Amino acid sequence: EDQVTQSPEALRLQEGESSSLNCSYTVSGLRGLFWYRQDPGKGPEFLFTLYSAGEEKEKERLKATLTKKESFLHITAPKPEDSATYLCAVQGPSNTGKLIFGQGTTLQVKP
């Protein structure tokens, strides 16, 4: 059964304190791994797609990496506006658009 597990559930950082969020996955034939950001009361917003082990993507203070079993979202020198819930999702081999989401990591960055 395809499964996605994110850790930690919640993370509190001081502004400027770098850290990483983890996404472990089990899927038969990974077609893609995706990171989303969700602000309270809003729908998720797409951040990155990673297709194969070793791939990296960057956007401002965020950097996503992928191995054969997990993905990391590295946050460098975070700011309070980076506070949000970060969701990880995977898609299996069939191109049906079926995404399996993890439970998310809620990040709070204090000034």
Partner 1 sequence: NAGVTQTPKFQVLKTGQSMTLQCAQDMNHEYMSWYRQDPGMGLRLIHYSVGAGITDQGEVPNGYNVSRSTTEDFPLRLLSAAPSQTSVYFCASSYRGASGDYTFGSGTRLTVV
The site for partner 1 (CB under 8 A) is made up of: 31-34, 41-46, 49, 87, 89, 91, 95-104
Tell the smallest beta-carbon distance from residue 107 to partner 1 (Å): 16
Helix (H, G, I), strand (E, B) or coil at 9: coil
Measured from the CB atom, is 9 or 81 closer to partner 1?
Answer: 9
Tell the smallest beta-carbon distance from residue 6 to partner 1 (Å): 8
Q: List, in sequence order, every residue forming a beta bridge with 6; answer none if it has no partner.
A: 23
Measured from the CB atom, is 79 or 98 closer to partner 1?
Answer: 98
Question: DSSP assignment of 12-33, as one string?
Answer: EEETT--EEEEEEEE-SS--EE
Tell the smallest beta-carbon distance from residue 95 to partner 1 (Å): 5
Measured from the CB atom, is 46 or 77 closer to partner 1?
Answer: 46
Tell the smallest beta-carbon distance from residue 74 to partner 1 (Å): 19
89 and 102 Cβ atoms separated by less than 8 Å: yes
CA distances from 3 to 23, 42, 62, 109 (A): 10, 24, 24, 28
Measured from the CB atom, is 14 or 94 closer to partner 1?
Answer: 94
Structure tokens at 88: 């990880």
